[in-house]
C-alpha cells in the first residue's frame, strides 16, 4: 500500500465509527500495513480547548484533525479518521488536503439505535435539555 491514504469515517455519535476503525486498524496492522487512527473525541479532549458542538467548534475540531492527519499520513500507510464531521466545509477541507488519496465513509445507524447505545450519555443529556446543539438532535443534520 502506498503511503498517505486517508479514510474519513463520519456519522452520528454512537454510530460505530471508532469501533469500525479500531477493528480495521488491528486487521490491517496484522497484515503489515501501518495505520494511524485519529478520533475526533480524543482531539476534542486533548488540545486544551473546551469545544462544544456549535458549528464554529465543530469546524475548529475538524481543522485540527486535518492538521494531525497531514502529519500522520507522511509516516503511515493509512490514516483512519473517526469524527462526526457534519459540516460539508470540514469534510471538503479534508478532501482538498488529501486528494486524490482521500475517501469519505458515512457510518449510518438508526436514531433509535443511537439513543439505545448512548455510549457517551449525549442523547439523554440532549433529551433533558443539558445539551442544546447535539448533531441530529438540536443542531439539525449533516450539511
pTM for the full predicted model = 0.86
Q: Where are the domains of the chain?
A: 5-108
**Pair 40, 84: CB distance under 8 Å:** yes
Fold of 5-108: Rossmann fold (3.40.50)
Which residues in the chain show pLDDT less than 50? 143
Tens of pLDDT along 69-94? 999 999 999 999 999 888 889 999 99
Amino acid at each position: 500500500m502506498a503511503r498517505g491514504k486517508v479514510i474519513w469515517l463520519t456519522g452520528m455519535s454512537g454510530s460505530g465509527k471508532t469501533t469500525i476503525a479500531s477493528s480495521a486498524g488491528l486487521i490491517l496492522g496484522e497484515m503489515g500495513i501501518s495505520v494511524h487512527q485519529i478520533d475526533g473525541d480524543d482531539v476534542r479532549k486533548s488540545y486544551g480547548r473546551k469545544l462544544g458542538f456549535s458549528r464554529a467548534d465543530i469546524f475548529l475540531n475538524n481543522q485540527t484533525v486535518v492538521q494531525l492527519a497531514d502529519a500522520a499520513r507522511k509516516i503511515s500507510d493509512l490514516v483512519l479518521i473517526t469524527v462526526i464531521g457534519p459540516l460539508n466545509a470540514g469534510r471538503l477541507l479534508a478532501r482538498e488536503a488529501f486528494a486524490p488519496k482521500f475517501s469519505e465513509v458515512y457510518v449510518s445507524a438508526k436514531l433509535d439505535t443511537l439513543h439505545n447505545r448512548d455510549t457517551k450519555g449525549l442523547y439523554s443529556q440532549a433529551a433533558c435539555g443539558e445539551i442544546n446543539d447535539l448533531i441530529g438532535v438540536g443542531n439539525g443534520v449533516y450539511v
